[in-house]
């Protein structure tokens, strides 16, 4: 299941994510997310058997919001909750449904954080990922092709944050000194979308 795999990846990379955040933030991103995803995984066994995936995501998002410190907790939690709401009661997830869920997640993140692409945030990974997902879907791609395209676009988007100057979040306090480092949230978003592609 995707949430467990995402939690494993975040835990495995927590030190690297925290090191990225130490360069342009306060050095807690990896461990914030590790705690949040651990809370999401811990919430899973409490859920009723056979709950539709959308409802599971809403519950996971709620757990992340309640247990994750920093700016990223509410952002990731909102992303999961919005994605879950978009999936609704569907028992099976198809490529179009997951695309709509990812689009809803991006919208939720942007409503809450007000970041646009180029601000050096996780939107620089999630935005291109959603766009790549949708264009792959339009070209006839299946769930595997769409999620892989999203993960690849996220990775490219995260790499492209390196030369940017941060305009949102804690890294923006550094001004020009934020240039030359990858945004930690864009990097964690990449991990999570890679976990999604692998889980599919
Ligand atoms: P904090 O900055 O509070 O310590 P984290 O270190 O957990 O929180 O998360 C930092 C990440 O959150 C950044 O790398 C960035 O990707 C993301 N972020 C911060 N502010 C915003 C925002 N307004 N919109 C989108 N993402 C943001
Ligand atoms: Mg931080």
Cα distance between residue 41 and residue 98, in whole Å: 21
Cα distance between residue 36 and residue 80, in whole Å: 12
Degrees, nearest 5: CA angle 156-138-56: 75
Q: Is the CB of 184 under 6 A from ligand 1?
A: yes
Q: How far is the CA of 121 from the centre of ligand 1 (A)?
A: 6
Given this model, what pLDDT does residue 132 score? 98
Token duo for residue 51: 């709950």
Distances (CA, A) of 189 to 50, 83, 103, 109, 143: 28, 14, 14, 12, 19
Q: How far is the CA of 104 from the centre of ligand 2 (A)?
A: 25
Cα distance between residue 69 and residue 96, in whole Å: 33
Domain that holds residue 92: 2-199
For residue 124, which atom of ligand 1 is closest to its CA? 16
| pLDDT one-digit tens code per residue, 155-200 | 999 999 999 999 999 999 999 999 999 999 999 999 999 999 999 9
φ and ψ of 118, to 5 deg: 100, -10
Asked if residue 70 has pLDDT above 90, the reply is: no
What predicted TM-score, i.e. pTM, was given to this entire model?
0.96
Given this model, what pLDDT does residue 198 score? 97
CB-side exposure of 119: number of CA atoms within 13 Å? 18
Closest-approaching ligand to the CA atom of 121: 1
Given this model, what pLDDT does residue 14 score? 97
For residue 114, which atom of ligand 1 is closest to its CA? 23
Pick from 5-9, 68-72, 87-91: least confident? 68-72
| pLDDT one-digit tens code per residue, 79-130 | 999 999 999 999 999 999 999 999 999 999 999 999 999 999 999 999 999 9
Q: How far is the CA of 171 from the centre of ligand 2 (A)?
A: 9
Given this model, what pLDDT does residue 78 score? 98
Q: Is the CB of 25 under 6 A from ligand 1?
A: yes
Q: Is the CB of 167 under 6 A from ligand 1?
A: no
Q: Do 36 and 67 touch, CB atoms closer than 8 A?
A: yes
Given this model, what pLDDT does residue 1 score? 83
Spell out the residues 6+ positions from residue 94 whose beta carbon is closer than 8 angstroms to its own: 143
Token duo for residue 67: 């247990």
Given this model, what pLDDT does residue 141 score? 98
CATH code, domain carrying 116: 1.25.40.340
| pLDDT one-digit tens code per residue, 13-69 | 999 999 999 999 999 999 999 999 999 999 999 999 999 999 999 999 999 999 988
Spell out the residues 6+ positions from residue 156 whose beta carbon is closer than 8 angstroms to its own: 128
Q: What is the dihedral of CA 180, 29, 191, 136, to 10 degrees?
A: -70
**Going by CA atoms, what residue is nearest to atom 22 of ligand 1?**
113
Sign of CA dihedral 78, 12, 143, 137: positive
Q: Is the CB of 170 under 6 A from ligand 1?
A: yes
Given this model, what pLDDT does residue 69 score? 80
Domain tally, the chain: 1
Token duo for residue 196: 């999604």
**Going by CA atoms, what residue is nearest to atom 20 of ligand 1?**
169
């Amino acid at each position: 299941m995707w949430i467990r795999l995402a939690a494993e990846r975040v835990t495995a990379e927590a030190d690297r994510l925290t090191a990225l955040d130490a360069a342009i933030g306060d050095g807690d991103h990896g461990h914030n997310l590790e705690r949040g995803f651990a809370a999401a995984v811990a919430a899973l066994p409490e859920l009723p058997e056979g709950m539709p995936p959308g409802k599971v995501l809403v519950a996971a998002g709620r757990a992340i919001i309640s247990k994750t410190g920093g700016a990223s907790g509410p952002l990731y939690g909102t992303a999961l909750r919005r994605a879950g709401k978009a999936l609704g009661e569907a028992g099976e997830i198809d490529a179009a449904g997951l695309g709509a869920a990812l689009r809803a997640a991006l919208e939720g993140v942007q409503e809450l954080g007000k970041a646009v692409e180029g601000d050096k945030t996780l939107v620089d990974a999630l935005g291109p990922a959603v766009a790549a997902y949708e264009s792959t879907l339009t070209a006839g791609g299946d769930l595997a092709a769409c999620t892989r395209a999203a993960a690849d676009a996220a990775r490219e988007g995260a790499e492209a944050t390196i030369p940017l100057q941060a305009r949102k979040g804690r890294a923006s306090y550094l001004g020009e000194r934020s240039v030359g480092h990858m945004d930690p949230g864009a990097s964690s978003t990449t991990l999570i979308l890679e976990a999604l592609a692998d889980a599919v």
